[in-house]
């Protein structure tokens, strides 16, 4: 037979429980905890996940821009290449990753 031992709340949680009125927290306490949670969540400078996702987005953008640069070089060497023109058009479609960024780049660098 196994005896189950129940653990009771730590003294700190007893203090929190004592603040509650009739087993419920007051609205003022809820507002304070919500504000603290929002501050802690959104005021962090760089968490590991934010840094990772930012680096990942930058890497993907660099990859897409390199593809665009290569196609633009091909077009510069051979302006009559229909395959290159189609490829560039597909890279600039809305469905393409970072399409707005690539379009803006092309507009600013057209001679």
Model pLDDT for residues 21-48, shown as the tens digit of each residue:
565 667 787 788 888 777 776 776 666 7
pLDDT, position 78: 95
Token pair recorded at residue 85: 């023109």
Q: Residue 91 in contact with residue 102, Cβ under 8 Å?
A: yes
pTM of whole model > 0.85? no
What stretches in the chain show pLDDT beneath 70?
A: 1-25, 41, 44-47
**Other CB atoms within 10 Å distance of the CB of residue 68:** 20
What is the pLDDT, as a whole number, of residue 90?
95
The pLDDT value given to residue 24:
67
Please give the pLDDT value at position 53. 85
């Amino acid at each position: 037979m196994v005896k189950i031992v129940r653990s009771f709340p730590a003294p700190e949680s007893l203090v929190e429980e004592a603040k509650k009125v009739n087993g419920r927290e007051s609205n003022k306490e809820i507002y304070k905890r919500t504000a603290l949670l929002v501050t802690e969540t959104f005021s962090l400078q760089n968490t590991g996940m934010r840094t990772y996702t930012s680096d990942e987005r930058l890497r993907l953008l660099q990859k897409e821009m390199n593809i665009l640069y290569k196609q633009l070089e091909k077009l510069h060497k051979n302006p009559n290449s229909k395959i290159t023109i189609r490829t560039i058009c597909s890279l600039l479609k809305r469905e393409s990753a970072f399409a707005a960024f690539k379009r803006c780049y092309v507009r600013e660098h057209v001679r």
